[in-house]
Amino acid sequence: MADIAVFSAEMRRQAEDLASRLMASDAGQRLLAFHDRLGERDRIALRGLGWFAAAVLVYVLMIAPLVAHVDAAARRLQAERELLSWLQSHGSGSVGGAMPAPGSEEPLATVVNETAEQAGLSIRRYEPAGEDGVRLWMEGADFNALVKWLFLLEGSHGVSAAEFNIERESEPGKVSVRITLRG
């Protein structure tokens, strides 16, 4: 509490010092003479306009950027919570080498292609990688959708990533990926 009082007194002293230096200058004298020539109603209007301008400056320079930053952080937090919730609800069956889904006779390339499309991911190119694998490339993929898709592949189809190379793109949340999947 004492620190606030000391800070407040120091700020008041600095403001008074600045005001006295401004009024002692030639521009300050001209401004004071202009103010004195105004009528009482004009002085009141000018003071009100000054307070309004100060309030707008405080809002534009301090409050609006702070609110925008808080909103963006809240959106990122919500997206991360949704991803965590999804991973927790789907993660228990995908840890520790899950087996392929019983009765699934579809080729790996078909499973990968269909599930990627359902997840909203676009495979730019893919090619066989050995007898039980496929290598694929994606550009501009949403990172959260990619992680969900990989968990789905492993948990529901027994397909896991053998090799994985990911690079961040300039757009937030977007990545370029090269993956070798085995199943």
Measured CA angle at 71 (ends 66, 76), to 5 deg: 125
**Is the whole model's pTM more than 0.75, yes or no?**
no
Q: How many Å apart are CA 118 and CA 121, to the nearest integer?
A: 7
What is residue 178's predicted lDDT score, i.e. its pLDDT? 94
What is residue 158's predicted lDDT score, i.e. its pLDDT? 86
Average pLDDT, 10 consecutive residues per value, the chain (183 residues): 81 86 84 86 91 93 92 89 78 42 65 89 87 89 91 87 90 91 84
Half-sphere exposure of 34 (CA within 13 A, CB side): 8
Q: How many Å apart are CA 26 and CA 29, to the nearest integer?
A: 5
What is residue 98's predicted lDDT score, i.e. its pLDDT? 36
Identify whether the C-beta of residue 144 lies closer than 8 Å to the C-beta of residue 86. Answer: no
Identify whether the C-beta of residue 181 lies closer than 8 Å to the C-beta of residue 133. Answer: yes
